[in-house]
Amino acid sequence: MYDTAIAGEDLILADGLTHLFGQAECSACGSTFALADWFEAENSPAQPIDPIVPRTDRSS
């Protein structure tokens, strides 16, 4: 993707791609992490959606 962005003369996109697929360091604790993994975790649903089966109270 980087090479395609360079070929299309989109230097801002090319630069952004190098950051998206790289590593970052947490400023609070200093741990390193993959940006793509972080982005996926931040933008994935928290839990699966159950549109058909109604919730049932089974507490009794």
Helix (H, G, I), strand (E, B) or coil at 31: coil
In a domain? residue 11: yes
Distance of CA 36 to the CA centre of its chain: 5
The tens digit of pLDDT for each residue in 6-25 reads: 999 999 998 888 777 778 88
In a domain? residue 7: yes
Alpha helices, H only, the chain: 2-7, 11-20, 35-42
Q: What is the total count of domains within the chain?
A: 1
In a domain? residue 54: no
Residue 22: what pLDDT?
78
**Of 48 and 29, more confident:** 29
Cβ distance 36 to 21 under 8 Å?
A: yes
In a domain? residue 48: no
DSSP 54: P
